[in-house]
Every structure is written in structure tokens, then in C-alpha cells.
Amino acid sequence: MRATFVILMKDLRLRVRDRSAFIIGIAAPLVLATILSQVVGDFGDGDFSATFGLVDDDRGQVSAQFIERIKTEVGQTSGFDFETDLSEAEARDQVDKGDLDAAIVFPAGFSDAVLSQAQVGLQVIGNKEDQLSAQIAGSIAQSIASRIDAANLTVRLVAPDGTPDPGTFFAALQEQPPVDLTQLQSDDRQLDTTTYLIAGLGTLFLFFLVQYGVTGLLEERQDGTMARLLAAPIHPLTVPLAKALVSVVLGLIGMATLAVVSTVALGAHWGDPAAAVVLIVAVVLAAVSVVGVVAGVARTAEQASNAQSVIALILGLLGGAFFPISRGEGLLTKLTLVTPHYWFLRGLGDGSAGGLGAAWGSVAALLLFAAVVGGAGTVLLLRGRWR
């Protein structure tokens, strides 16, 4: 164990002098995440707000009722405001200027057309630079149309001869709100953008960082020092063990520094500290297991470095290191489940909401990954191509 520690300290000293480990493990993910979070914006924080215009060119009974109900019922949802008493031209002008996020226009003759069960259209005015608001306005309009269809169906059922009855129509219209906005929470609780990007990119760069330990085996062989190490009175497996420990220590230092610095300087929220610590340890072990396989197969340090870079990028892309991966049924989506990045980010999200107890699933997945891949790496290393 003493020899393992001696080799570990020597390698860490070399890495400190080299400085590349610091750049790859800490500086690069911090800088990239800062830039990306500025470029992308904080799209995931749940603080959405919008002001919609409601234009009543109809001035009829039906449009008035819909506008009133939208204001009272949809307006209860936090962040939504409505402007009325606008003409279509004023609404269009304000949307273009950005004073309104979108507008819904009830055209002249809307009430008469609805009550006579004739075809009628609602108009949605949106700004192409604010697609989300336009989509919400469109959803409200769609909901109104659906409600009108449902009320008309009720009228037809009550009066089979099809005679329009405004009383029945309005009674049916009262039964449901025009649109039901519910604050939905996804199964996978989300990190805010800054934290997601820093954690994702940190994991990506972790896979580059840990190679400095294990692939050091190949550097020792290339530089001629391996012969001297193996001639020393130590068990031969001390050398790969020490190199693996170097990877683990570098990975832990890199991720821990990233978490602390990003929290203090960038306002990242890594969630429950205990969950974050356990997840960081687990993802570092998973990353080291991958580099163990690479070192067991590669013949030179350059070969190992290239292979590790390709693997790191593929796993990072699949695992959502750059942007969240949508959940679905496709093959690529399923492949995210075999990446440590996905489980780490998911675990952080779960841990933020439910603490360590909620993150155990992700921790178990990461440790399983480390055990399976690390087992393969150990077998390859025992074959001794690195000697």
C-alpha cells in the first residue's frame, strides 16, 4: 500500500506541473458552461411569464364570455397577464414591439356564427422570436374551439331537430373552463440550465481528465520507466492500481472543485449535498472503469488518448452532456440509459427534489456501470499488455 501511495503522489506531482489536468478538469467545463448558459438562456427554471392581448372585434355575447373566463381562470396561473380593449391593429403593433407576447383575436360576427353553428375562426398573433408564447396562445384558442364544439354537441343532443338554443349553449359552455392550465412536473425532475450545463460538461470533461491516471501506464512503458517500476520490490499490480487511484483522485478533485466553484461563482444548484457527493464518487468510478478498458486494449498512450476522446464524446452526446435528451422510444433514446452522464444528471435532478433517497436509483446504475466495465478493464489489465 505504501508503494501505491508513493506512485500516486509522484503522478499527482507530475500532473500539477503539467497543468493540463487542471485545464481539462476544471477550467474548460467552467468556461464552456458559463458561455453556453449565457447563450442558451435560462430556459429551464420554471419562471415563465407572458402578457397576452385579447382583442374583441366581435363585441358579442359569446366572445365576451370567453374573454372574461380566460382572464379569470387562465389568469389565476402565475405569470400570465392579459390586455383587453385593443384593436387588432394595436395588438399586432404591440406584439411586433414585444409589449405583448401574443394576442388572440375574436373576429366580428364570432358570436353569431357560433350560435348558428356556422364555421368561424379565431386569429392568433404571434412573434416569430417568441415561439413559446405563440404556442400557448394557440393552445388557448384551440381549447376555445374545442369547448365550442362540445357545447354545440350538447345543443344538438338536447334539440335533435338542430334548432339552435342560446340558453342551452351557454349552459353547456359554463360546465368546463375554456382551458385548463396545470403546473405539470415531469417524472425526471429538472436541473436549472446553468447547473445542467456545468454538470453535463463537467461529466464530459471528467472522461478526458481521468485518462491522465490509467493511460499513465502506457506512458511509463513508452518512457522506459515501467521496467524500473516492475524491477522494484513491489507487487506488479501495484502499478495499475496506483494509476487507477490517480484517475479517481483527479476525477474527484475536478468534479468537487467544479461543484464548489460553480455554486459560488455561477449560482449553480447541485441540490442535496449528500446526494451530489455520492453521485460524484459514483460517476468518477464509472469514468475510471471506461479508461481502464481503453488502457487495457491500447498499445500506446496516444492510441489510448484518441480512443478515450471518441468514447467521451459519444457517451457525452448520448448521455445529454450538452443538452437534455428527450425521453422517447427510439434506439438512441434507449442508449442514453447506458451512459453514466444520463444517470449522473438524472440523479442530480432527483437529488435536488428528494435528497439522497431519491437519487439511489441513479447511484446504483452508475455503480453497476463501473462494476461491469471496470471488471472488463481489470481482466484486460491483468493480461498485462501495458507491461
Partner 1 sequence: MTEADGDVVLQASGLRKAFGDLVAVAGVDVRIGPKETYGLLGPNGAGKTTTISMIAGLLDPDAGQVLVDGRKVTTRSVKAKAGLGLVPQDLAIYPDLTARENLDFFGKLYGLSGPKLKARVDEVLGVIGLTERAHDLTKEFSGGMKRRLNIGIGLLHQPKLLILDEPTVGVDPQSRNAILESVEHLASAGMAVLYTTHYMEEAERLCDRVGIIDQGEIKAEGTRRELVALVGERDRIGLTATGSIEAAVAAARELDGVVSASATGEGMEVVADDVHSLLPALLAKVGEAGAHVSGVEVTEPDLESVFLHLTGKALRD
Binding residues for partner 1, rule: CB under 8 A, are 2-3, 6-7, 10, 13-14, 17-18, 223-225, 227-236, 387
Burial of residue 246 (number of CB atoms within 10 Å: 0-12, 13-18, 19+): buried
Beta bridge partners of 258: none
Least distance in angstroms from the C-beta of 387 to partner 1? 8
Question: Is residue 324 packed enough to be buried (19+ CB in 10 Å), middle (13-18) or exposed (0-12)?
Answer: middle
* Identity of the residue, 237 or 265, whose beta carbon is nearer to partner 1 in the bound complex: 237
CA-CA distance, 295 to 300, in Å (whole number)?
9
Q: How far is the CB of 381 from partner 1 (least distance, A)?
A: 15
Cα–Cα distance for residue pair 233/104, rounded to 1 Å: 82
Instruction: Report the nearest approach of partner 1 to the CB of residue 3 (Å).
Output: 6
Query: Between residues 124 and 250, which has the closer beta carbon with respect to partner 1?
Result: 250
DSSP labels, 322-343: SSPPPP-SSHHHHHGGG-HHHH
Q: How far is the CB of 305 from partner 1 (least distance, A)?
A: 18
Ranges assigned E (strand) in the chain: 50-56, 80-83, 102-106, 123-126
The minimum distance between CB 1 and partner 1, in angstroms, equals 13
- Burial letters for 13-31: b for 16+ Cβ neighbours within 10 Å, e otherwise? eebeeeeebbebbbebbbe
15 versus 92: smaller Cβ distance to partner 1? 15
Give the whole-angstrom CA distance, residue 1 versus residue 282. Answer: 23
Number of helices (H) and strands (E) in the chain: give both, helices first. 17, 4
CA distances from 222 to 21, 219, 386, 387 (A): 20, 5, 10, 10
Nearest approach in angstroms of CB 356 to partner 1 is 39
- 2 versus 97: smaller Cβ distance to partner 1: 2
Q: Which is nearer to partner 1, 156 or 385 (CB)?
A: 385
Pairing of the two strands 123-126 and 102-106: antiparallel
Q: How far is the CB of 291 from partner 1 (least distance, A)?
A: 21
- The secondary structure of residue 52, as a DSSP letter, is E
The answer to whether residues 106 and 63 touch, using CB atoms and an 8 Å cutoff, is yes
Instruction: Name the minimum Å distance from CB 16 to partner 1.
Output: 10
Looking at the Cβ atoms of 10 and 299, the one nearer to partner 1 is: 10
